[in-house]
Amino acid sequence: MGHKLQTMIWGLHGRLVDYACASGRADEYGREIAGRFVTLFLLAALLIPWFIFQYSYTGFNEAALSLAIAGIGMMSSFWVFKYTGNVAFTRDTFLGAFFCFLVWQSFYFDGLTPPGSVWLVVMPVVSVLLGSRRSGTIWLLICIAALFVSYLVTDQYRFTAHIYTSRYQLLHTISISCMMVAIFLFVSMVDAARAKAYQALEETAASVRLLAERDELSGLHNRRYFYERLEQRLAQYPLQAHAVLLTDLDGFKEINDTHGHLVGDELIKAVASAFSAISEGEDAVIARLGGDEFAILVSGGNLENRASLLAQALLDRVRHPFYMAGHTAQIGVSIGIAAAAETVTASELLRRADVAMYAAKQGGKNHFVMYENRLDAHRSHQLQMAQELVEAMSEGRIEVHYQPIVDAKTHEITAAEALARWTRADGSNISPAEFIRIAEESGLINDLGVYILRRACRDAVGFGKLKLSVNLSPVQFTSENLVGDILETLRETNFPASQLELEVTETYLIEHPERAQPVIEKLQAAGITVTLDDFGTGYSSIGYLRQYGFDRMKIDRSLVSGIAEDESARSIIQAAAILAESLSLKLTAEGVESEEEAVLLRLAGCSELQGYFFGRPQPVENFTALLEASPSRRSDHAESHLA
């Protein structure tokens, strides 16, 4: 009963606040102010009947005086807080002033008449509104005690002509006490409901803040945190030596492809644990930057020797096999070391470490390389690969594969994600991460992006009403023609904008929000769905979700893997689902590899699922056959041909 009443009261309070803010877009501060006035309005609605009752016994003057002083006292608290900024001082001043007035009223009106006793109702209520339920309880007990003390001494001290019988005084004392308790419980329930709502919001915010600093899979710091700490150390200790060790696991992709992502994830956890143990005595910052890439920051004297010893210790550990999930994994590690011998930026230091790591891979893997200026010769290789990429696009050797995205409840295919694949002239395959990086660094990413989008839209015309999901590189946002190229591609291929979904990450949004937001708004104005990709990799925050107004967000695979065993992962996904629902966003989980994960994600609140459990990325011919074999899609496919 109490819970239902509490829910009803809080629902009324919330509807009144929504109505008060309906005239415009109120921010959080505006809603808070509106909430306070609504609370005072409900309080007035409770007190006015009692003032009417008071007026019937004492007349208009006394009732009006009490009502005026109550209004002035309540409104004055806002001015006190405005000029002092001290909540505790405001509360104590407010309550103290009313308590003094209560004493005066109690003696002036014989203590038990309505004008005096009504303030005994106000005091604990105001204590709850401006203080806490505990302080309100203290004031309630004080006021009830004062009421009965006034009843006991009223026959000895009479300051006015208002004389009542002891029987009336006793009934009046009891009735006032009951009303005080009832009103206090009402206000306490409203306050408790509000506190519960704020607590749920704080828990959601805490979960998101956790994502912003930690890599969920490995438990290490993430890329964003590492970069911030690197910048901080370089700025605070410019005369101190700093070094970055950038590592990449050799053979990880083969293990991932052979044994599946579950084994791959367990391997990442094992490597992270080993690296943390080895770096423990170095006062180092260790992070997982993404995929199988780790970074370690060390500072202090004798740095080159210490960095070399640390790198050798990492190599020695990785040479021993890792045992996990019933499998044995033998991998290597390529390590690049860059030391800041002079004033250097964080991005430049990371770039040098990346150059050294690339040299380690090119030199046979499973060893470390210290950065030297001559290593920048890798740019010639980059130019060569960029030229091959241009030829591959002109010859049509960049293919687009499609992975199904399904409804979480029915498992019906609702969308397809377009994923690029490159097979070189010699038959070798270049990973998407590598050739996209080459395209970004060589300035070809816009051409590659348009190529992939055009080819995907042409293929997707034959998919019926299915949505098409295409990834946007952060570098593409730097192009002034991005929106124009996308809209022109849609016109050329005759593909509906309403069926196109573009996935973006926060990499560029963080660095250039003033440029990214107009692009996203133009895309949405054209009817294109914009999705925040890789939610949970450490970049995501409530602020970006609100600022950019995404239509959907996708939970990263690192959160999905292990959801069956990890209760904290389930809690974080549930928090993300609550957040998505509150912002009217659809939530997609990627990396689903088992039926158990699919069920848990559906129960957690995900609306769509994607992963190897529902289908691997496949050529357009295979994907079309998959659609035609799906009963739920045959009618849509037939309609598209009839049209």
* Strand bridging mode 368-370 / 285-290: unpaired
**What is the percentage of the chain residues whose pLDDT exceeds 90?**
30
Would you say residue 182 has pLDDT above 80?
no
For residue 283 the two structure tokens come to 């006062």
Whether residue 57 lies inside any domain: the answer is yes
| Boundary (domain end) residue, out of 157, 183, 212 | 212
- Tell me the C-alpha to C-alpha distance, in Å, between residue 29 and each of 26, 87, 126, 482: 8, 16, 21, 37
Whether residue 634 lies inside any domain: the answer is no
CATH number, domain with residue 531: 3.20.20.450
Average pLDDT estimate for 489-514: 84
| Boundary (domain end) residue, out of 212, 238, 267 | 212
Same domain, 415 and 527: yes
User: Which residues form the domain of 593?
Assistant: 381-629
Q: Which letter, b or e, does each residue of 484-495 get, where b requires 16 or more Cβ atoms within 10 Å of its Cβ?
A: ebbeebbeebeb
Q: What is the C-alpha separation between 465 and 463, in angstroms, rounded?
A: 6
Would you say residue 230 has pLDDT above 60?
yes
Same domain, 228 and 204: no
Would you say residue 48 has pLDDT above 80?
no
Do residues 334 and 366 touch, judged by C-beta distance below 8 A?
Answer: yes
Query: What is the residue type of 638?
Result: A
Same domain, 477 and 357: no
Same domain, 360 and 398: no
Count the neighbouring beta carbons within 10 Å of the beta carbon of residue 206. 10
pTM above 0.85, yes or no: no
Same domain, 151 and 193: yes
Do residues 564 and 558 touch, judged by C-beta distance below 8 A?
Answer: no
pLDDT for residue 75: 58
Supply the mean pLDDT for the chain: 77
Same domain, 346 and 246: yes
**CA quadruple 342, 345, 346, 352: dihedral sign:** negative
CA distance from start to end of the chain: 58
| Boundary (domain end) residue, out of 212, 239, 259 | 212
Radius of gyration of the chain (CA): 34
Whether residue 641 lies inside any domain: the answer is no
Do residues 134 and 90 touch, judged by C-beta distance below 8 A?
Answer: no
Total number of domains in the chain: 3
Average pLDDT estimate for 71-94: 60
Same domain, 310 and 271: yes
Return the SS3 of 426. Answer: coil
pLDDT for residue 260: 80
140 CB-near residues (< 8 Å, 6+ apart): 123, 124, 127, 180, 181, 184
CATH number, domain with residue 328: 3.30.70.270
Measuring CA to CA, which residue among 212, 210, 220, 245 is closest to residue 230? 245
Concatenated DSSP letters for 160-171? SS----HHHHHH
pLDDT for residue 508: 64
* Strand bridging mode 586-590 / 608-610: parallel
pLDDT band with cut points at 50, 70 and 90 for residue 138: low
Q: Which residue has the tokens 């020695």?
A: 316
pLDDT tens for 600-632 read 999 989 999 999 999 999 999 999 999 988 755
pLDDT for residue 428: 85
Average pLDDT estimate for 355-365: 81
Query: What is the residue type of 219?
Result: G
Query: What is the residue type of 462?
Result: G
Same domain, 363 and 385: no
Same domain, 350 and 433: no
Same domain, 161 and 283: no
Same domain, 290 and 411: no
